[in-house]
Chain A
Amino acid sequence: MRVGLFVPCYVDQFYPGAAIATLQLLEKLGVDVVYPKNQTCCGQPMANSGYEHLTGGCNKLFIENFQGFDYIVSPSGSCVLHIREHLHDDKQPELAKEVAHQVWELTSFLTDVLKVESLPSRFPHKVGVHQSCHGQRGLHLSSMTELVAPGFSKPGSLLNMVKDLELVELDRKDECCGFGGTFCVVEEAVSSKMGKDRVADHLRQGAEYITGADMSCLMHMEGILKRQGSNVKVLHIAEILNSQ
């Protein structure tokens, strides 16, 4: 199995640790991982701002870099959702579709493709999981509180395999953190308030770490935690699953 590692632009630039953990974790699980070095971005920042028509360059690059892999795996639910729903190329529509279908978010890849049932990791801390909306409601990584359906959580199940880790229960299990791409600056007041409220829920439950499958939401919450001078840290789920 040959897997292409898709590392979103902001993870590449600001959170290399999340990408390194993803790579090491997949390697540990016996996967042959390659990082195509000319990749950049999925195009979502422009698209969600209403400029999907400017994403041609990103689409082209993505297809060039990622065609031919068995799977493409990424530690970001949001970017994966964007590729799945919007990757297109008018010149080679079939190829674009094929590539789009091969993209997997890390926790669903571990759960549904690799069918991981145990992990050799240990993380002796209280952890709160942030359900990022695009991963949850878009990719169905977890059940959603709005729907009348059986409960499940792929990130939650994986974290439960980690030794000595204690998951905290949140008051609001799946409320948005307010990042929302450019929303975080265009609607600064509401975005910040949403972030504060989300962080407060984790703090109320005594979490030492906030984790999730999307670094962008974590970056937002980290910004708030740091501003508040909190000791609570954010970590991408790959970093916890990969910890010893």
Chain B
Amino acid sequence: METTTTQDKNPPLQGAGGSHAELADIFNKDEDRVNWHDETLWWIRAKRDKSVHQLPEWEALREAASNIKFNVLSHLDIYLAQFEAAAKANGIIVHWAADAKEHNEIVHKLLTDAKVTQMVKSKSMLTEECHLNDYLATHGIEVIDSDLGERIVQLAGEPPSHIVLPCIHKKKEEIGDLFHMYLGTPSNMSDPQFLTETARGSLRETFLTRKVALTGVNFAIAETGEFVVCTNEGNADMGAHLADVHIACMGIEKIIPKREHLGVFLRLLTRSATGQPITTYSSHFKKPREGQEMHIVLVDNGRSIQLGREDFRNSLKCIRCGACMNTCPVYRRSGGHSYHTAVAGPIGSILAPNLDMKKYADLPFASTLCGSCSNVCPVKIDIHDQLYKWRQVLVKEGYTPKAKTVAMHVMATTLGSSTLYHAAGKMGRLTIKYAPFAVNNKLNPWYKNRDMPESPKESFGEWYAKNRKK
């Protein structure tokens, strides 16, 4: 394919604004790209299927993981305190952040204390959620993301579009252009091997010179005070083991009770994510290295509120595998950026409204409720049921357009009365106006790509009255 002018074709959507539907509409202007995006993610879903079908105990494992997480949610305060005590005893310094702001301030203070203006960071969706990079940038601190995909989107000035595959929306030619611009590679070089090698060389320099490294956390063990970080690239380890200060940031829901529970979660995580049996590195950090400082930042940022929402608390079971995105037919055809939130896709759509109902009122509607997400979820979150429930909440709280509410009332009245229904039906099947698929009948978007069903000469009810005289 041609390489240039990608900027005009696919403008970065960060800060572009717009609802999921609007952003998805833009994404769909380039159908070839949608096909490519869809097929790439479907391929990952297929790898996941192949991998999980090798474990006859798969469904039992999911059930166990789900139940461990239920236990965690119901003892979260106890496990957090237990974790804190054990981590402290291990020589880790523990911090607590009530919200994104406090999290960013804590990290900033640690950097100032270490007298550095540069930091290397491995993948952490939490820091994306808190917009840490932007915050630190305004305070004169440069963050370099070390995960290849994150580095790529960072160079592009975009947020990750997927929690596991941050630059899944980018074509290699676009990445080649970025590397040409920022890393001095020859133009028109888009071979993944070559590009990866370039990034390896440039980031190795970073690893060797940064005194502070920040990582995310996949699991933290209450019993032992250790935490586990999973990567394929080894970037979290390269950063942490070469730095004088290691800062690990985690949402409070990442706690699990015991070390042996890792056996369950590590079996599920990567098989669900990419179909690999395990990530290349599953690093267990228990104590700081000789002479190193190790910090843990425990972040709430709305999680305790979500925990209090009976219908939605299960979303906190998420282990961020990304499987629900890969399988989601809407995500695959709208791209991660259309969700305009740090965590995209089905899980993002049930997490985001907790933080800001107004801003994210569109997301629970960006789904057909097909249920595939709930089926792939390794911790059995009832994602599609929660999407349905968020819709009810958002409507009741008044976050839906007035016109829709009016239309729904008309429809409810019509369908709630046999007389009105049949009268409407008799009007030459003009019920098309009230039919479920044509409710937002402004210019009837249905008709853009689809023909209307033909109106039959009589309804079934009318046929039945004539043909079955009982």
Q: Which A residues fall within an 8 A CB radius of B?
A: 7, 9-17, 19-20, 23, 34-35, 37-41, 43-58, 60-61, 133-134, 137-138, 144-149, 172, 174-176, 178-197, 216, 219-220, 222-224, 226-227
- Asked whether A187 lies within 8 Å of B21 as measured between CB atoms, the reply is yes
- Asked whether B333 lies within 8 Å of A194 as measured between CB atoms, the reply is yes
Q: Is the interface of B mostly helix, strand, loop or mixed?
A: helix
- Asked whether B392 lies within 8 Å of A53 as measured between CB atoms, the reply is yes
B372 at the interface (CB under 8 A from A): yes
Q: Which of B333, B370, B436 contacts A45 (CB 8 A)?
A: B436
- Asked whether A40 lies within 8 Å of B416 as measured between CB atoms, the reply is yes
Kindly list chain A residues whose C-beta atoms are within 8 Å of the C-beta of B369: 48, 133-134, 180
Beyond A53-B396, A186-B21, A187-B24, is A138–B416 a contact (Cβ under 8 Å)? Answer: no
- Asked whether A39 lies within 8 Å of B451 as measured between CB atoms, the reply is no
- Asked whether B42 lies within 8 Å of A172 as measured between CB atoms, the reply is yes
Further contacts, 7 of them, CB under 8 A, given A35-B460, A50-B394, A50-B400: A9-B435, A12-B425, A20-B460, A40-B421, A187-B366, A191-B368, A226-B450
B194 at the interface (CB under 8 A from A): no
- Asked whether A179 lies within 8 Å of B394 as measured between CB atoms, the reply is no
B112 at the interface (CB under 8 A from A): no
Residue of B nearest to A43 (CB): B415
- Asked whether A224 lies within 8 Å of B470 as measured between CB atoms, the reply is no
B4 at the interface (CB under 8 A from A): no
What is the minimal beta-carbon distance from A196 to any residue of chain B, in angstroms?
7
CA distance A193 to B396 in the complex (A): 31
Q: Which of B365, B392, B450 contacts A183 (CB 8 A)?
A: B365
Q: Which of A57, A147, A176, A190 contacts B334 (CB 8 A)?
A: A190
What is the minimal beta-carbon distance from B449 to any residue of chain A, in angstroms?
4
Kindly list chain B residues whose C-beta atoms are within 8 Å of the C-beta of A53: 392, 395-396
What is the minimal beta-carbon distance from B393 to any residue of chain A, in angstroms?
8
- Asked whether B52 lies within 8 Å of A148 as measured between CB atoms, the reply is yes
CA distance A61 to B420 in the complex (A): 13
CA distance A199 to B450 in the complex (A): 12
Q: Which 6 A-B pairs have the closest CB atoms?
A: A57-B416, A223-B450, A180-B368, A50-B391, A50-B395, A146-B375
Interface residues of B in 57-113 (CB under 8 A from A): 58-59
Q: Which of A10, A50, A174, A185 contacts B440 (CB 8 A)?
A: A185
B270 at the interface (CB under 8 A from A): no
Beyond A58-B416, A133-B369, A182-B440, is A145–B459 a contact (Cβ under 8 Å)? Answer: no
Kindly list chain A residues whose C-beta atoms are within 8 Å of the C-beta of B25: 188-189
CA distance A70 to B320 in the complex (A): 46
Q: Is the interface of A mostly helix, strand, loop or mixed?
A: helix
Kindly list chain A residues whose C-beta atoms are within 8 Å of the C-beta of B370: 133, 137, 176, 180
B36 at the interface (CB under 8 A from A): no
Sampled A-B contacts (13; CB under 8 Å): A7-B460, A53-B396, A55-B412, A57-B412, A61-B418, A181-B368, A184-B445, A186-B21, A187-B366, A188-B448, A190-B24, A197-B333, A224-B450
Residue of B nearest to A78 (CB): B369
CA distance A50 to B391 in the complex (A): 4
User: 1/0 per residue B189-210: CB within 8 Å of A?
Assistant: 0000000000000000000000
Beyond A145-B49, A179-B368, A180-B367, is A185–B438 a contact (Cβ under 8 Å)? Answer: yes
Beyond A12-B459, A40-B416, A57-B415, is A49–B448 a contact (Cβ under 8 Å)? Answer: no
- Asked whether B412 lies within 8 Å of A51 as measured between CB atoms, the reply is yes
- Asked whether B450 lies within 8 Å of A45 as measured between CB atoms, the reply is no
CA distance A186 to B69 in the complex (A): 35
Interface residues of B in 411-470 (CB under 8 A from A): 411-413, 415-418, 421, 425, 429, 431, 435-440, 444-446, 448-456, 458-461, 463-465, 468, 470
Kindly list chain B residues whose C-beta atoms are within 8 Å of the C-beta of A16: 456, 458-460, 463
B409 at the interface (CB under 8 A from A): yes
- Asked whether B438 lies within 8 Å of A187 as measured between CB atoms, the reply is no
B55 at the interface (CB under 8 A from A): yes
What is the minimal beta-carbon distance from A225 to any residue of chain B, in angstroms?
8
- Asked whether B464 lies within 8 Å of A35 as measured between CB atoms, the reply is yes
CA distance A222 to B370 in the complex (A): 19
Q: Which of A38, A51, A52, A181 contacts B437 (CB 8 A)?
A: A181
- Asked whether B330 lies within 8 Å of A187 as measured between CB atoms, the reply is yes
What is the minimal beta-carbon distance from B394 to any residue of chain A, in angstroms?
6
- Asked whether B435 lies within 8 Å of A189 as measured between CB atoms, the reply is no
Q: Which of B21, B333, B431 contacts A13 (CB 8 A)?
A: B431
CA distance A223 to B447 in the complex (A): 8
Kindly list chain B residues whose C-beta atoms are within 8 Å of the C-beta of A223: 446, 449-453
- Asked whether A45 lies within 8 Å of B418 as measured between CB atoms, the reply is no
Kindly list chain B residues whose C-beta atoms are within 8 Å of the C-beta of A186: 21, 365, 440
Most buried by A among B392, B464, B470: B464
B152 at the interface (CB under 8 A from A): no
Beyond A133-B370, A223-B446, A224-B449, is A193–B456 a contact (Cβ under 8 Å)? Answer: no
CA distance A219 to B448 in the complex (A): 15
B327 at the interface (CB under 8 A from A): yes
CA distance A194 to B370 in the complex (A): 12
- Asked whether A182 lies within 8 Å of B421 as measured between CB atoms, the reply is no
Interface residues of B in 253-311 (CB under 8 A from A): none
- Asked whether A17 lies within 8 Å of B367 as measured between CB atoms, the reply is no
- Asked whether A57 lies within 8 Å of B460 as measured between CB atoms, the reply is no
B56 at the interface (CB under 8 A from A): yes
B40 at the interface (CB under 8 A from A): no
Residue of B nearest to A183 (CB): B368
Beyond A46-B411, A182-B440, is A41–B371 a contact (Cβ under 8 Å)? Answer: no
CA distance A227 to B447 in the complex (A): 9
Kindly list chain B residues whose C-beta atoms are within 8 Å of the C-beta of A138: 371
CA distance A166 to B450 in the complex (A): 28
Kindly list chain A residues whose C-beta atoms are within 8 Å of the C-beta of B438: 185
B28 at the interface (CB under 8 A from A): yes
What is the minimal beta-carbon distance from A85 to any residue of chain B, in angstroms?
9
Kindly list chain B residues whose C-beta atoms are within 8 Å of the C-beta of A39: 418
What is the minimal beta-carbon distance from A63 to any residue of chain B, in angstroms?
12
What is the minimal beta-carbon distance from B356 to any residue of chain A, in angstroms?
17
Beyond A20-B460, A50-B400, A192-B449, is A148–B437 a contact (Cβ under 8 Å)? Answer: no
- Asked whether B453 lies within 8 Å of A148 as measured between CB atoms, the reply is no
What is the minimal beta-carbon distance from B92 to any residue of chain A, in angstroms?
38
Interface residues of B in 355-404 (CB under 8 A from A): 364-372, 374-376, 388, 391-392, 394-396, 400, 404
- Asked whether B396 lies within 8 Å of A188 as measured between CB atoms, the reply is no
CA distance A226 to B451 in the complex (A): 6
- Asked whether B452 lies within 8 Å of A137 as measured between CB atoms, the reply is no
- Asked whether B458 lies within 8 Å of A148 as measured between CB atoms, the reply is no
